[in-house]
Chains A and B, each alone.
Chain A
Amino acid sequence: MNRYPWWKYAILAIALLVGLIYTLPNFFGEAPAVQVSSAKATVKLDASLVPRVEQALTQAGVQADFVQLEGTSVRARFADTDTQIKARDAVDKALNPDPNDRSYIVALNLLSRSPQWLTSLHALPMYLGLDLRGGVHFLMQVDMKAALTKKADALTGDIRTLLRDKNLRHAGITRDGNNVSIRFRDRETLTAARNLLSDQLPDLLWTDAPDGSDFRLAGVLKPEAARRVQETAVKQNITTLHNRVNELGVAEPVIQQQGLDRVVVQLPGVQDTAKAKDIIGRTATLEVRLVDDSVEAAAGAAGTGPVPFGAERYVERGGAPLIVKREVILTGENLTDAQAGFDSQTQEPAVHLTLDAKGARIFRDVTRENVGKRMAILLFEKGKGEVVTAPVIRSEIGGGRVQISGRMTTVEASDTALLLRAGSLAAPMEIIEERTIGPSLGADNIAKGFNSVVYGFAAIALFMCLYYLLFGVFSSLALAFNLLLLVAVLSMLQATLTLPGIAAIALALGMAIDANVLINERVREELRGGASPQAAIHAGYERAWATILDSNVTTLIAGVALLAFGSGPVRGFAIVHCLGILTSMFSAVVFSRGLVNLWYGRQKKLKSVSIGQVWKPGPDVPAQG
């Protein structure tokens, strides 16, 4: 009765193998590496950079383990720190010929030393949290009220333009908080305006709100529209933060939304909060200007003549120089949105811009006067400008909806849209939590956490082996298997390991032994009751199972509650805690049973089991030592 069918052993073997493979990468440690990432929002990084980096390294006579593209950066791994620094200098020189105007950031970094075959199985080490590796953590609050006000402002402008275009006379438009109210002199205009506005501005809900003898129309931002505004505001802020953080050359920045209106920024390895704050808080600005296409300008662009008076020379994305007039037509403030899409007639990829009312008026005037000429959209970052795109004006554009299309791929269109949006934050942000952890403290924390687990585990295993003999050995092996599975699952999920997470691992092990104690005690009890060894093992596991399930469910309830309501470090604790309960049920019951079955299951005439002394109370027999 104590035999497993072969498939159960197979499942256990597979679980063991998978556990080993996915736990393995955590033991290789990290090797020095060089990371190349884009320094400018306009420089896009792709696989074509890999051969350039390789070439630079061979020229400098530096041997890299590998050079590869990972996400938005190219990384090269080296054997030691000396080669790493040499390589950094070589790559930096090759990619950034002008040290004052860097297109790429070349930063020192750490990469896992685990072999390629493990990486190709997606067996990657766990991320270390900031408390274990040092770095800066910011929690930022997005000012949603400001985002809504900004939206309401833009809508007010739109309303004004719409009413004027349709020749509907109003007696004043006012914005009150997120609501807009329009006064009219008569009911007919009000009805006409209401129809028009409901049709054109679906984001607002219009109601008649007569105020004394006045005819008044009140518009309220619909809840779903408000939600959309807030969502886009957070998303846009995250995009902007990504662009800015990239510049710090941080290895694995974490920029995540937390809750409805918060953004977490974690920069491992960065210690200088002041600089980080400076970069995060900086704004890039967007400007629209006209391109100077005179003969002198062409000479200036080609480098054969001076740049004409009243114009400046900028480099277009892609490398060609362009002469742009100094006069600024519009700034990023007038741009309310930029989205990638398709031309409704030609189905070509296009970028759709939305301007606010003031911007739309200026834009209409400028385009009317400059049909056939080019205009340039420039992005200024760190005081340096670059031309994002320079389209030809085909006709007068009114209404504030601008479409840029032609000679663009879909990827380019979405890049351009991103760049145009990235210029500014959708809503102001405020730092509400800030944490820095020194790198030595992090290493210290790893050692402490590791020691707690090791010594605790050793103490428990020793006790179990002494008290329950062979069954104790099985229990200890099951506990080790539990640890292996837990680390493997965490690595598979690419969870971030923190000190509370390590504490949760320790606690999970301490609690997981409960299941084995329950089983062993039950087996002893059955033996005490006079059951045969095989029957005692069977009944012991069988009867303990219900109790194990019950007790784990209650522990799990607490874990889930922590997961649902906890934040930050508590969440990390809760995730490990919950996973630990699940893996412990599997390892303590199925795995230890498998070991017992393997050992005892085949013996038909089993006389005794090694589970320590089973003391039987007898009426006459005195207690024995």
Chain B
Amino acid sequence: MEFFRIRRDIPFMRHALVLNVISAVTFLAAVFFIATRGLHLSIEFTGGTVIEVAYPQAADINKVRAAVEALNFGEVQVQNFGTSRDVLVRLPVRGDVKQTEVVGRVFDALCKAEGGSVSTQQVTTDKGESASRPVCGEVGKEPVHLQRSEFVGPSVGSELARDGAYALLATVAGIMLYLAFRFEWKFSVAGIVANLHDVIIIIGFFAFFQWEFSLAVLAAVLAVLGYSVNESVVIFDRVREAFRKFRKLNSREVIDHAITSTISRTIITHGSTLMMVVSMYLFGGATLHYFALALMIGILFGIYSSVFVAAAIAMWLGVKREDLVRQGPEKGDPDDPNAGAVV
């Protein structure tokens, strides 16, 4: 099998202007949505309480909401999580309520709504671990089951947001330095602009659809940043090689050649990574849902941006043979097919 039968270099850069306009528009749209809609941050960042409960049958969301709202804990979000039997309750941080008691009180209310009462019982799990846990009604016949709860104080949240920003900055700075050192500043700028454009677009998606932006999503975004920069690196590598090899081609043709000769690898690699991520999306369950989604968007835009955006920016910045090929022309290149007599 061979998917890519390319006879001559595809003139990608001929369309650079149009594609860059599209990129710019998407980018601005993403910025616009981030600015106007904002992100739906998870409680890891905002602080608050999350409670996940499971019902033996499909849960009645309205009944759950009514039961929780009766406690007056402020703005409550109740939604299905994964399946129709699992319900996620989110509560904001409230100064007047003792946070560490919130989980107990909410579970108590949900249990009462089902006509049971909460008691702490010693339960032996199927794996033989003994655990005492709050049980609603009788063990084995619980009308509602506490799956998971999480409480994050407000100070932790703001610190996480700060650390996330630092991590992003450190990654950007590290990659720029590396590219500048390994190639040249124009590539460094082009690479980072292209990939930040990916990052902004992923975040834009999260803002537009109001998907939950959690720590895991942040990790995915940073992983995408590192991953799609390597795409640009591969292309830049080829650009450098082509500058050495083909002395007659101009910058635009060299870039076209570099992209053409790497396109099959680009698509196969990203396709493979995408298969893994899709598998995570399909089988990973609700916890990995947004993580995989962020990776998916990131990988797709990563292909696009490293092919069209990074190379095009490098071209606009005026990458020249002299920038990359250090040795003077008089030394000559042994591989140069166009080498001839010199005067």
The winner among B125, B231, B234, B237 for most chain A CB atoms within 10 A is B125
Stretch at the interface among A105-113, A144-152, A365-373: A105-113
Q: Number of contacting residues on B, CB 8 A?
A: 86
The winner among A84, A455, A466, A551 for most chain B CB atoms within 10 A is A551
Contact (Cβ within 8 A) A272 B100: no
Given A134-B131, A448-B288, A566:B233 Cβ within 8 A: no
- 9 residue pairs, one from A and one from B, having the closest CB atoms: A558-B226, A271-B133, A510-B276, A551-B230, A456-B279, A432-B153, A456-B276, A32-B128, A565-B167
The winner among B145, B168, B279, B292 for most chain A CB atoms within 10 A is B279
Contact (Cβ within 8 A) B272 A435: no
Chain A's closest residue to B288 (CB) is A503
Given A30-B127, A275-B132, A555-B230, A569:B273 Cβ within 8 A: no
Chain B's closest residue to A510 (CB) is B276
List B residues 274-291 near A (Cβ within 8 Å). Answer: 274-280, 282-285, 287-288, 291
The answer to the question of B151 belonging to the interface, with a C-beta cut-off of 8 Å to chain A, is yes
Chain B residues near A559: list those with CB within 8 A: 223, 226
Can you give 7 A-B contacts (C-beta < 8 A)?
Answer: A272-B131, A436-B148, A500-B291, A555-B227, A559-B226, A570-B218, A612-B1
By a beta-carbon cutoff of 8 Å, the part of chain B in contact with chain A is: 1-3, 5-8, 52, 100, 103-104, 120, 123-125, 127-134, 145-153, 155-156, 160, 163-164, 166-168, 170-171, 174-175, 178-179, 182, 215-216, 218-219, 222-223, 225-227, 229-231, 233-234, 237, 261, 264-265, 268-269, 271-280, 282-285, 287-288, 291-292, 295
A582 to B230, CA, bound (A): 15
Contact (Cβ within 8 A) B280 A623: no
Contact (Cβ within 8 A) A459 B275: yes
Contact (Cβ within 8 A) B234 A547: yes
Interface residue from A271, A452, A509, A561 paired with B131 (Cβ < 8 Å): A271
Within the complex, the shortest CB–CB distance from A420 to chain B, in Å, comes to 30
Interface residue from A139, A441, A513, A546 paired with B156 (Cβ < 8 Å): A139
A550 to B178, CA, bound (A): 9
A524 to B133, CA, bound (A): 61
Interface residue from A275, A441, A564, A612 paired with B170 (Cβ < 8 Å): A564
Main secondary structure of the interface of A (DSSP, over half): helix
How extensive is the interface on chain A, given as a class?
Answer: 35 or more
A506 to B276, CA, bound (A): 7
Contact (Cβ within 8 A) B104 A274: yes
Contact (Cβ within 8 A) A561 B128: no
Chain B's closest residue to A130 (CB) is B148
Given A274-B134, A448-B285, A460-B272, A550:B230 Cβ within 8 A: yes
Chain B's closest residue to A275 (CB) is B132
Within the complex, the shortest CB–CB distance from B128 to chain A, in Å, comes to 4
Within the complex, the shortest CB–CB distance from A368 to chain B, in Å, comes to 48
Chain B's closest residue to A613 (CB) is B2
Contact (Cβ within 8 A) B130 A269: yes
A215 to B5, CA, bound (A): 92
The answer to the question of A52 belonging to the interface, with a C-beta cut-off of 8 Å to chain B, is no
Within the complex, the shortest CB–CB distance from A207 to chain B, in Å, comes to 34
The answer to the question of A525 belonging to the interface, with a C-beta cut-off of 8 Å to chain B, is yes
Interface residue from B120, B146, B216, B233 paired with A569 (Cβ < 8 Å): B216
Interface residue from B128, B134, B160, B285 paired with A445 (Cβ < 8 Å): B285
A524 to B152, CA, bound (A): 53
